[in-house]
Amino acid sequence: MSFQPASVLPEDLRSQRWVWVGESGLLCPQQGLFWTQAELPYQPLPEHIHALGTWHGQGYVAVEARDEPTRPARRLRELLMLASAEEQAVLVRAAQVVLWSRQYRFCSRCGQALQAHAEERARVCTSCQEHYYPRINPCIIVLVRRGRSMLLAQGVRFVQPFFSTLAGFIEAGESAEEAVHREVMEEVGVRIDHLRYVSSQSWPFPQSLMLGFMADYQSGEIHCDPREIRAARWVEPGEDILLPPPLSIARQLIELHCREL
């Protein structure tokens, strides 16, 4: 990986590329996704600038900014569709770091103000010394296979009516593997085996880490949980249905299955 993460601001801010994270989305310059310091809508306070890291020798920082009434903010989801893989990594990191900074201002134990840690990406309570790190919620996502067929489902909360893999949050005290078995049983009533971990993806809607698995169908008929799943069925590779966007790990699992046939 060419990415070098950073949590302390570099001395030379002029050489950085800037991600401008407003309250309702990202602000982009006239061209591209990233600003130079000279182009910024205004010069932000140091406490609103967050180090992100270096990709291929280029440093990036994020600005925790207010919305600009004269410039419409753009949704992260929409920008990710347009971005390269490297740009996506920068945007995802910027969005999550700024969201964490906005959410963690006061200690949840004693209510006192938090201050930035000098060396780490953390906030520390000025009274009881409790530390707060960026929060990440682990989720599982799984493609269940039955020969060539794939078990795909439409979630009730999907913005678009695509068919995707099954997914859910890992519960406290549960392993990722246990969560895969539980989620598949809860959502569609099917037993699985031959679980195989494939890869993971940071998913900033809002602060998830998706752990991607493949699994084989074992037994049971599909019965959808109507609170979670609108429809689920076995889909053949090449069928003309709406699939999740290419940047998603769901789509990557589907494409991996098709390549492995």
What residues numbered 116-135 form the site for Zn ion, per CB under 5 A? 125, 127-128, 130
Residue of 150, 147, 144 whose CA lies nearest to 236 = 150
146: β partners = 149
Residue 196 CB, nearest approach to Zn ion (Å)? 43
Residue 107 interacting with Zn ion (CB under 5 A): yes
β partners of residue 35: 18
Q: How far is the CB of 142 from Zn ion (least distance, A)?
A: 39
Beta carbon of residue 103, minimum distance to Zn ion (angstroms, whole number): 16
Q: Residue 82, interface with Zn ion (CB under 5 A)?
A: no
Task: Specify the residue, 127 or 137, whose C-beta has the smaller distance to Zn ion.
Answer: 127
Q: In sequence order, what E strands does 8-122 have?
A: 17-21, 26-27, 49-55, 58-64, 114-116
Binding Zn ion (rule: CB under 5 A), the pick from 110, 209, 241, 258 is 110
Considering only residues 109, 135, 146, 194, which one is a binding residue for Zn ion as defined by CB under 5 A?
A: 109
Question: Is omega for the bond preceding 206 within 30 degrees of 0, making it cis?
Answer: yes
| HSE-up of residue 72 (Cα within 13 Å, Cβ side) | 2
Closest contact distance (angstroms) between CB of 106 and Zn ion is 8
Nearer to Zn ion, 112 or 115 (CB): 112
- What SS3 state is found at 59? strand
Give the range of 6-14, 21-29, 42-50, 108-116 binding Zn ion by CB under 5 A.
108-116
Integer Cα distance of 16 and 53 in angstroms: 10
113 binds Zn ion (CB under 5 A): no
Closest distance of CB 64 from Zn ion, Å: 22
Task: Find the shortest distance in angstroms from Cβ 112 to Zn ion.
Answer: 5
Give 114-175 as a DSSP string.
Answer: EEE-SSSS-EEETTT--EE----EEEEEEEEEETTEEEEEEETT-SS---B-EEEEPPTT--
What residue ranges bind Zn ion (CB under 5 A)? 107, 109-110, 112, 125, 127-128, 130
